[in-house]
């Protein structure tokens, strides 16, 4: 990322860079939000074309920033003729069909909310991205393993997933999945 002096970024919800949020690069150096977006959108020209955004699930500032990045990614991908998808961990893999039905206009939002089991903060923090995806015809990938399988792995270990019937594997990553790295394990259990 190159450095340049840009005016503070103001999000659609009125949050202002420097007052309500700060942006940092991967080394902890303060950068402008524009530089973060620029770096994320640069991924559009690389292989693989993936941008991961980490968050605390109950942080409205993070969600506002994600929405802004997503909005700019839609504009950037359209101008470059590249495809884009939105992957959300808050939705489980076994509700992908329901999400697709909603995005394609086959079912109402109340049915999506009932059948997709969204998190309590869906309306305030994620809905705007799903609605933008729907309007712009961007696929939404329901990315999380179903809670019942996460619970099973937590109770009985990841190898317990291997004993599930084969049709259950459609909602899971390829099994057996690898163990967490030592660094990740230390960070999450340390």
pLDDT in tens, 139-180: 999 999 999 999 999 999 999 999 999 999 999 988 888 888
Percent of the chain with pLDDT over 70: 91
| Residues sharing a CB contact under 8 Å with residue 45, sequence separation 6 or more, in sequence order | 80
| Residues sharing a CB contact under 8 Å with residue 178, sequence separation 6 or more, in sequence order | none
Cite the beta strand spans of 119-190 per DSSP E.
140-144
Is pTM beyond 0.85 here?
Answer: no
């Amino acid at each position: 990322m190159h450095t340049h002096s840009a005016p503070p970024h103001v999000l659609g919800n009125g949050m202002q860079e420097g007052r309500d949020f700060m942006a940092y690069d991967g080394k902890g150096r303060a950068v402008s939000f524009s530089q973060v977006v620029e770096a994320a959108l640069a991924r559009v020209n690389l292989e693989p074309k993936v941008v991961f955004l980490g968050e605390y699930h109950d942080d409205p500032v993070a969600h506002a920033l994600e929405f802004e990045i997503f909005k700019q990614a839609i504009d950037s991908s359209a101008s470059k003729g590249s495809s884009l998808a939105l992957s959300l961990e808050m939705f489980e893999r076994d509700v992908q069909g329901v999400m697709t039905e909603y995005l394609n206009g086959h079912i109402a939002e109340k049915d999506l909310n009932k059948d997709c089991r969204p998190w309590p903060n869906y309306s305030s923090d994620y809905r705007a991205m799903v609605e933008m995806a729907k309007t712009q015809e961007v696929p939404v990938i329901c990315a999380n393993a179903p809670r019942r399988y996460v619970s099973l792995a937590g109770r009985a270990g990841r190898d317990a997933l291997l004993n599930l019937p084969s049709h259950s594997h459609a909602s899971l990553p390829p099994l057996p999945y690898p163990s967490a790295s030592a660094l990740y394990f230390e960070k999450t259990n340390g």
